[in-house]
Structure 1
Amino acid sequence: MSLFRLDSSIRTEGSVSREVADTLERAYLEQHPGGSVIRRDVGTAPLPAEVWATAAFAGYTPEDQRTEGQKAAVALATTLADEVLRADTAVIAAPLYNFGVSQHLKVWIDLVITDPRFAPGTTPLAGRQVAIVVARGGGYGEGTPRAGWDHATDWIRRIFGDVWGAEVTLVEAELTLADVTPQMEALRPLAAEVRAKAHELAASTGKQFASRAA
């Protein structure tokens, strides 16, 4: 029994995506105390941005003609793909940065896709459950001034669900900057409510994932 956890927040203290992912992880392990967690933190230990291009071009180069750099890039992509495939289920913690996906998470996804097992046209995560924990500093719901400005969540969900075949559960927390932004003071009660609901959903999702994996 194992859970793959990917963190991509550049913060450790005060990171809501990490906090909510912690809740899901705890709920999962409470159901399976002997279970393990396979961790990859690209927020605090980023992957080199250039390694994706190296691995991608290596895919068009015969193995016996690859440079040492290409061999290393392919080996890293293989390691990342193996981490995901070793787990029964996964949680992906994804903060919204500048209205888009974290560059660290994007590099990870791009690199994993270079592994033949995760290439478009394959469904390596078919039958597996994946939770995507999204944290957004502001509000992006329908009717808000920035409705439609979140250019990350649907893309991440499409990669894991439509491209890789996983059964995706979305756990969302918004207004996460309300407590530290004076202009958002009036939104603090709503922010606390949204955050509490995210934790509730994370806990129930962790338990569900554990039951399903069992």
Structure 2
Amino acid sequence: MSLLRLDFSLFPDASAGAEIADLVEAEWTAAHPGEPVVRRRPGTDPLPSDAWALATTAASTPEPDRTAAQREALALATRLAGELTGADAVVLAAPLYNYGVSQHFKTWVDLVITGAGGPNPILEGTPTVLVTVRGGGYGPGAPRHGWDHSTAYLTRILADVFRADLTVIERELTLAATTPGMEALRDEASRIHKEALAAARTTSLTPTAG
């Protein structure tokens, strides 16, 4: 048994998403003592920005004609895909940045898809938890309702492309406690925070039967 833990925050040690993912990981570790946890932090240990282009061109280039950079990028893509296929459970912490998908997540996805030989269901049946956090409020009635262009994409990739057995834990208003002008939202932010932590403690990373 192994757990793959991925953090896409620029500040994973102080990340609101990492706090929740830590609880999910702790519950898994308690249920599987001594089993390995594989960690990758693309937010602070970023994947090369040109790796996807190199891996993609490598895949369509005869092996003898590939450059060293192409071979290295294709090996990285294969390794990233292998980390997913080799995991018995996965937890990802991915924040909303500038209303969209983290560039680190997008680079990772592009490389994984290349390494898997296309958009394949490489997580089919694998219990996976996506933790996604947002500094503001984006729900119905909020001034920026609909501005979250990340969560739907993250879910589409993990659940519909990779076919993970996906649970999503969301927390928003993470900046309410420290941002002037958001004082009126602090009670709501506290409630959302507590609900997210409770969800993390009770979320199972056990495969769903059937």
The equivalent of 2:205 in structure 1 is 209
- Which of 159, 178, 181 is the aligned partner of 2:179? 181
Structure 1 partner of 2:18: 18
Cα distance in 2 for partners of 1:39, 1:116 equals 20
AA paired with 2:205?
F
Q: 1:14 to 1:185 in 2, by over 3 A?
A: farther
Deviation for aligned residue 1:51: 0.9
State the Cα distance separating 1:77 from its structure 2 match.
0.8
- Aligned partners of 1:14 and 1:185: how far apart in 2? 21
Contact preservation (8 Å) 1:5, 1:40? yes
Identify unmatched segments of 5+ residues in structure 2.
Answer: none
Counterpart position of 2:79: 79
> SS of the counterpart of 2:76?
helix
Alpha-carbon offset, residue 82 of structure 1: 1.4
Does the 8 Å CA contact 1:140/1:149 hold for their aligned counterparts?
Answer: yes
Q: Is the 8 A contact 1:32 1:210 kept in 2?
A: no
CA contact (8 A) 1:46 1:104 kept: yes
TM-superposed deviation, 1:14: 2.6
Higher helix share: 1
User: With CA pairs under 8 Å and 6+ residues apart, which has the higher RCO, 1 or 2?
Assistant: 1
Q: Give the structure-2-normalised TM-score.
A: 0.95
Alignment partners' CA distance in 1, 2:185 and 2:14: 18
Which of residues 113, 136, 154 is equivalent to 2:152?
Answer: 154
2:146 aligned counterpart, secondary structure: coil
Are 1:36 and 2:36 an aligned pair?
A: yes
Task: Determine the structure 1 residue equivalent to 2:165.
Answer: 167
The match for 1:69 is: 69
Deviation at 1:210, TM superposition (A): 4.2
Deviation at residue 211 of structure 1 after TM alignment = 7.1
8 Å Cα contact 2:23-2:200 kept in structure 1: yes
Displacement of 1:192 in angstroms is 1.2
* 1:178 counterpart SS class: coil
* 1:142 corresponds to: 140
Return the alpha-carbon distance in structure 1 between the equivalents of residues 82 and 161 of structure 2: 17
Deviation at 1:202, TM superposition (A): 1.2
1:159-203 C-alpha deviation (Å, 9 max, x unpaired): 111111111111001000111101111111111110111111111
Residues 75, 211 of structure 1: CA spacing in aligned structure 2 closer, same or farther, 3 A cutoff?
closer
Determine the C-alpha separation between the residues in 1 that align with 2:19 and 2:206: 19
Shift of 1:156: 0.8
Per the alignment, residue 115 of structure 1 pairs with: 115
What do you get for the CA RMSD once the two structures are aligned?
A: 1.4
TM-score normalized by the length of structure 1:
0.93
Identity %: 50
Runs of 4+, deviation exceeding 3 Å = 210-213
Q: Report how far residue 12 of structure 1 moved.
A: 3.1
CA offsets per residue over residues 71-102 of structure 1, 9 Å max, x none? 00001111111111211010111000000011
Matched to 1:209, the amino acid is L
